[in-house]
Structure 1
């Protein structure tokens, strides 16, 4: 049995518990001893962050080998079009290589608390939202992908990691989830034990 904490990391907060420069950290919103973040979320990004005191669970969630799909809501500059969405779905070539195909679709403005500080409407009079699901974890990947297709990201919110979703958590809020170890598969009646061959 493991304990997982689902946290809505606010904008301009580090995905760690200490900072020598006095910036906001996870310690400002969650007071649970011995937990660590499974992966990270950029300082200027918001949304779902998973934490646990179970090292094996953190590894299963965060390690690139397991390719946990991550879903983001991105508010971008301009009205994103079908050509840009098709390019994101096919994969785009960044400085560190071709991205894997992503799931990409335009969405209505999600039901989120306004960011503090908010996007300046005078500087960015026309914006739109898209939902992007990727299975990689490159540095600032979503921002680089949307910029590559001509629609720079203004606000980025992670909505889901695998089956875990942000749902109605407000910025700074968290909830606990108890995970039970899966039961081993039942043995078939009369099944013979596997023979072990010498290596």
Structure 2
């Protein structure tokens, strides 16, 4: 008898600021937190592929396919972030980010792998964030793009801080070949297939 083929379901989400990249628990400490379930009635067995921390926004992939999740998380797939940093970052610091910087991870020192990084020529066309970001009266800011093949906890924030430019806003805009494009905050789109490679 032929085994039944499991049909997996896949979604892309524009995770809002202030929402955790997980589904709720009955833990009393988390009662005041916001979870992905507020965005959509997701199917049973759904899991986020990787995470964005509570204060980060942007593209989050969800699937019921554990193998797909493992593949995307296995450092083979690029993840691109737009970071608004505090200060006028220079080419020298961008070069440091590209080559790798030392950050703290799990109580140990860790040197990030080489990555792609550059300054954005103009402010990206992103939806306004729900929580106000400080304005230019407090000094200059710079938008940069960072593309990683790894994803340590709060890595981009730690990297920009390591070169002296803390991140004020962080938005993941691309995972592999999937981009935010014109998605708005809180949008949920179901895909027939999750192709992260062209």
Which bin holds the TM-score, normalised by the shorter protein? 0.7 to 0.9
For 1:13-162, what aligned pairs fall within 5 Å after superposition? 13-19=19-25, 20-34=30-44, 35-62=46-73, 64=74, 66-95=75-104, 96-107=109-120, 108-121=122-135, 124-162=138-176
Question: Where does structure 1 differ by over 3 angstroms across 4 or more consecutive aligned residues?
Answer: 122-125
Inter-partner Cα distance in structure 2 for 1:100 and 1:140: 15
* Aligned partner (choices 8, 11, 14) of residue 8 of structure 1: 14
**Cα distance, 1:5–1:83 mapped onto 2, change above 3 Å:** same
**Cα distance, 1:82–1:68 mapped onto 2, change above 3 Å:** same
Following superposition, the deviation at residue 25 of structure 1 comes to 0.8
**Cα distance, 1:180–1:142 mapped onto 2, change above 3 Å:** closer
TM-score (normalizing by structure 1): 0.84
Inter-partner Cα distance in structure 2 for 1:117 and 1:90: 32
Following superposition, the deviation at residue 124 of structure 1 comes to 3.6
Give ranges in structure 2 of 5+ residues lacking alignment.
Answer: 1-6
RMSD (Å) for aligned C-alpha atoms: 1.8
How many residue pairs get aligned? The number is 179
Query: Deviations along 1:82-103, whole A, 9 cap, x unmatched?
Result: 0011111111122332111110
Following superposition, the deviation at residue 122 of structure 1 comes to 6.2
**Cα distance, 1:94–1:180 mapped onto 2, change above 3 Å:** closer
Query: Deviations along 1:9-41, whole A, 9 cap, x unmatched?
Result: 000100112043221110111212222111111
TM-score (normalizing by structure 2): 0.84
8 Å Cα contact 2:10-2:194 kept in structure 1: no
Inter-partner Cα distance in structure 1 for 2:34 and 2:188: 16
Inter-partner Cα distance in structure 2 for 1:114 and 1:85: 26
Q: Which has the larger radius of gyration?
A: 1
